[in-house]
Structure 1
């Protein structure tokens, strides 16, 4: 589990730079697993829409879990493809991406951020997609109790769609 100096809570605008920095460090082009790069403007809109969860250690963002309503990211083609594969409940929201900094991996931080999200959004369905070749993420999300409900292809990659009830 995480150390006693790690704090998990809802993000606010002061966390923006740390989220953007961690996102940039974990792009696929830099050896990470994040394929999308969200702008500060989009993140601010998401933050106003739904809870974004962050983990902080010694004042630095070491993890984040982003969420948004279906409507806010409806313009993103891969999100459209996910909802075409699995529609979900009328008030279902988009879970992800989730990112844990390299130094914090394997300490249960993803599960702690997920538990905080579920506390803030009880009873709502969350829907996410994971690339089929991202075995670590597939395992982690199955371990968190999520279930695979569909598959789709996008830009020549195969994805699994998962869901859960908060």
Structure 2
């Protein structure tokens, strides 16, 4: 029996569940995540911005990770650098993503719930993200959330669209 969905801010106790879901959704596993973050990186992000998770029956079935520009600038992530070179955003902007929903929970509105909670916690700030331009499901989902394309870039033989949003 499925319990109700809980949307909440992640804590260090949630790291294993986030990593497990991230690993299950890598391109090598048939997913659409093209990279991964270490537990240490995610924990650092937790000290800086809210990391939102969806939980059903004590299992993390979705996450939305965010990174401030300050934390991002301490790292050298080539694909994020390519995105930032194509669109810098506002002074107070942050990086949205990755977002991931478990395969058996897709199409049920979880991404929108995660995003709604992020907007509640981080109002009036611009979020910037990139999506591989052949990922139709993600492109449609983010457009449905009210995000708009602001740029594009080419990285590792693939084309990406850059989206941004700022809601009160």
TM category (shorter chain) comes to: over 0.9
Match status 1:30 vs 2:35? no
Shift of 1:49: 1.0
Q: Deviations over 1:36-92 (max 9, x none)?
A: 111001010011110000000000000000000113223211111111101110010
Aligned runs of 1:47-86 on 2, under 5 Å?
47-74=46-73, 75-86=76-87
Cα distance in 2 between the residues matched to 1:150 and 1:57: 36
Cα distance in 1 between the residues matched to 2:147 and 2:41: 26
Moved over 2 A (4+): none
Cα distance in 2 between the residues matched to 1:81 and 1:70: 14
TM-score, reference length from structure 1: 0.96
Match status 1:136 vs 2:148? no
Cα distance in 2 between the residues matched to 1:150 and 1:135: 17
Cα distance in 2 between the residues matched to 1:12 and 1:66: 12
Aligned runs of 1:144-155 on 2, under 5 Å?
144-155=145-156
Cα distance in 1 between the residues matched to 2:79 and 2:145: 23
Cα distance in 2 between the residues matched to 1:51 and 1:111: 16
* Contact 2:95–2:128 (CA under 8 A) maintained in structure 1: yes
RMSD: 1.0
* Contact 2:124–2:166 (CA under 8 A) maintained in structure 1: yes
Moved more, 44-53 or 74-83: 74-83
* Contact 2:82–2:153 (CA under 8 A) maintained in structure 1: yes
- Give unpaired runs (5+ residues) of structure 1: none
Number of residue pairs matched? 164
Moved more, 141-150 or 75-84: 75-84
